[in-house]
Amino acid sequence: MSTLTITHTHADGTLIDGTSRDDGSREILKTHRWRWSRNLGSWYIPQSRDRRAKTYQINTTAAALREAGFEVTIDVDDSYRPAAEVETDKVARQEARVEALDAKADRKAAAAETAWGAERAAYNALPEGGEPIKVGHHSENRHRKSVEKAWDALGKAVTSEREAAAARGRADAAARTTEARYAPVTVARRIEKLAAELRGYERTRDGYSRTLFTNSQTGLKEIEKHEPATGAHRERVLEEIERVADELAYWEGVRAQQLADGKVTPYSKNVVIKGDQIFYVGSWHHVVRVNAKSVTIRSIVGGSWTDRAAYTEIKKVRSADGAPVHVVDGARVVGDIDATSTKLSQEEDSNA
DNA sequence: ATATAGTTTGCTCGTGTTAC
DNA sequence: GTAACACGAGCAAACTATAT
């Protein structure tokens, strides 16, 4: 039997080379959750790009294939790629996907149109005025056939129409994913998450202790101590630290660029004051109090309860009298800054 | 589930402002 | 000038998020 090679690289994910149609590998691969890609012309493990190799899945698949008489070699390169490279690839693939889905949606729409045309034709072929089928007449058979045909054509057209709408929906959704991935608020949250992840790995690397509980009688604390990671585990942790630090740096760069481009405004406690109004999740709110990491807000429309908005979640700020509040070098500036910002603030007013 | 770190809130206190 | 009041800084308590 032929020799199969399972390879894992972060750029391409996990693939298997050397299979051919009907050689018996298909069933085994399917049961081990591999998928066939017409695009790649190969079987692959879903969600394996830029991830660590799924060793368990790879090994069990290999074992099953060997059991079936294949010779299998495994080649794993588990080194991470720089975040910038990963992102570039991801965006490019997404663009290609959008293009393909767009083309598909167009094809489906055209097919739907054709189907409706066929339905019209079939309907028009029916005898005038909803004439009943004359039983026993020489036209009975033909009449029955054409009624059935029209009914059939209608069904096909409706199905086709639904498929077209679904395809269009998928294409539109795909077109928005990259945008959403780089939306300022999302990026800000991702930075928070990565920073937390990094702290976690650093703790594992350096060791830590935690109090399980405090004896209320003696006041003594039961402490669980975690030693710093050693050996292979430590190596792995160091690798993860490097990866997360790289990702964090990448996204911080993205955020810095967004700030430079004016896509986000760095609101802070130095900018917002009590009495201001902020635009947050679709509506304006009164600022009740300014805190270090957020503002305490109250809904303008008859709100008695208060809510909070982190500075990164604030979309716009205006002063109590409605003048736009800008940020210049991290400081508060009320009103129009110059001629170019005048237009902007007018737009804001009309939106308000 | 629990401890702890991090944040916000309610409140006090001191200072400045206003009314008389 | 003094009392009353408003306001913000600062602090402890309350609350929330995070980590395991």
Q: Domain check: are A111 and A71 in the same one? A: no
What integer pLDDT is reported at residue A102 of this predicted model?
Answer: 86
Nucleotide with C1' nearest the A293 CA: B7
| Range among A48-57, A179-188, A206-215, A223-232 rated most confident | A48-57
CA of A288 to C1' of C5 (A): 20
Beta-bridge partner residues of A17: A5
- Contact call for residues A307 and A313 (beta carbons, < 8 A): no
Q: Domain check: are A165 and A120 in the same one? A: yes
Nucleotide with C1' nearest the A203 CA: C19
Q: How many beta carbons lie within 10 A of that of residue A260, not counting itself?
A: 9
Which range, of A127-141, A251-265, A314-328, A331-345, averages the lowest pLDDT?
Answer: A331-345
In chain A, positions 60-119 with C-beta closer than 7 Å to nucleic chain C are none
> What's the predicted TM-score (pTM) here?
0.75
What integer pLDDT is reported at residue A342 of this predicted model?
Answer: 42
Whole-number mean pLDDT of chain A? Answer: 84
Q: Domain check: are A13 and A63 in the same one? A: yes
pLDDT band at A87 (very low <50, low <70, confident <90, very high): very high
pLDDT band at A270 (very low <50, low <70, confident <90, very high): confident
Dist CA A76 CA A289 (whole Å): 55
Q: Which domain holds residue A113?
A: 85-131+139-181
- Contact call for residues A6 and A71 (beta carbons, < 8 A): no
Q: In what order do the strands lie in the sheet with A283-290?
A: A306-310, A294-299, A283-290, A277-280, A316-318
Nucleotide with C1' nearest the A291 CA: B8
What integer pLDDT is reported at residue A221 of this predicted model?
Answer: 65
- Point out the domain boundary residue: A235, A261, A287: A261
What integer pLDDT is reported at residue A287 of this predicted model?
Answer: 86
Q: Domain check: are A124 and A54 in the same one? A: no
Residue A214 has pLDDT above 80, yes or no: no
Asked if residue A238 is part of any domain, the answer here is yes
What integer pLDDT is reported at residue A297 of this predicted model?
Answer: 86
Asked if residue A269 is part of any domain, the answer here is no
Beta-bridge partner residues of A226: A208
Which range, of A43-57, A68-82, A115-129, averages the lowest pLDDT?
Answer: A115-129
What integer pLDDT is reported at residue A48 of this predicted model?
Answer: 92
What integer pLDDT is reported at residue A78 of this predicted model?
Answer: 92
- Point out the domain boundary residue: A62, A79, A96: A79
What integer pLDDT is reported at residue A18 of this predicted model?
Answer: 92
What integer pLDDT is reported at residue A155 of this predicted model?
Answer: 87
Asked if residue A340 is part of any domain, the answer here is no
Q: Domain check: are A103 and A119 in the same one? A: yes
Nucleotide with C1' nearest the A288 CA: B9
Q: Domain check: are A281 and A329 in the same one? A: yes
Asked if residue A267 is part of any domain, the answer here is no
Asked if residue A209 is part of any domain, the answer here is yes
Q: Domain check: are A208 and A163 in the same one? A: no
Nucleotides of strand C under 7 angstroms from a protein beta carbon:
8, 18-20
A234-259: average pLDDT? 88
CA of A294 to C1' of B2 (A): 27
Q: Domain check: are A98 and A167 in the same one? A: yes
Closest CA to A323 of A295, A298, A342, A307: A342
What integer pLDDT is reported at residue A219 of this predicted model?
Answer: 60
The residue length of chain A stands at 352
Position with higher pLDDT, A302 vs A268: A268
Q: Tell me the per-residue pLDDT of A183-202, one tens digit each, with 9 for 90 and over.
A: 888 888 888 888 878 887 88
Which range, of A1-5, A121-125, A126-130, averages the lowest pLDDT?
Answer: A126-130
Q: Greatest CA separation found in chain A?
A: 104
Closest CA to A264 of A334, A315, A309: A315
What integer pLDDT is reported at residue A4 of this predicted model?
Answer: 94
Q: Count up the domains in chain A and report the number.
A: 4
Nucleotides of strand B under 7 angstroms from a protein beta carbon:
2-4, 6-9
SS (HEC) of chain A: CCEEEEEEECCCEEEEECCCCCCCHHHHHHHCCCEEECCCCEEECCCCCCCCCCHHHHHHHHHHHHHCCCEEEEEECCCCCCHHHHHHHHHHHHHHHHHHHHHHHHHHHHHHHHHHHHHHHHHHCCCHHHCCCCCCCCCHHHHHHHHHHHHHHHHHHHHHHHHHHHHHHHHHHHHHHHHHHCCHHHHHHHHHHHHHHHHHHHHHHHCEEEEEEECCCCCCEEEEEECCCCHHHHHHHHHHHHHHHHHHHHHHHHHHHHHHCCCCCCCCCCCCCCCCEEEECCEEEEEEEECCCEEEEEECCCCCCEEEEEHHHCCEEECCCCCEEEEECCEEEECCCCHHHHHHHHHHHHHC
- Point out the domain boundary residue: A59, A79, A99: A79
pLDDT band at A339 (very low <50, low <70, confident <90, very high): very low
Nucleotide with C1' nearest the A275 CA: C7
Does residue A200 approach strand C to less than 7 Å at its CB? yes
What integer pLDDT is reported at residue A350 of this predicted model?
Answer: 39
Asked if residue A145 is part of any domain, the answer here is yes
Q: Domain check: are A177 and A230 in the same one? A: no
Q: Domain check: are A100 and A171 in the same one? A: yes
Nucleotide with C1' nearest the A297 CA: B8
pLDDT band at A56 (very low <50, low <70, confident <90, very high): very high
- Contact call for residues A334 and A319 (beta carbons, < 8 A): yes
Residue A306 has pLDDT above 80, yes or no: no
Q: Domain check: are A168 and A201 in the same one? A: no
Asked if residue A349 is part of any domain, the answer here is no
> What's the first-to-final CA gap in chain A, in angstroms?
72
What integer pLDDT is reported at residue A347 of this predicted model?
Answer: 38
Q: Domain check: are A97 and A41 in the same one? A: no
Asked if residue A11 is part of any domain, the answer here is yes
In chain A, positions 256-275 with C-beta closer than 7 Å to nucleic chain C are 274
Does residue A234 approach strand C to less than 7 Å at its CB? no
A142, two tokens: 């033909």
Residue A138 has pLDDT above 90, yes or no: no
The set of residues with CB closer than 7 Å to nucleic strand B is: A 210-214, 221, 289, 291-294, 296, 306, 308, 310
Dist CA A311 CA A277 (whole Å): 13
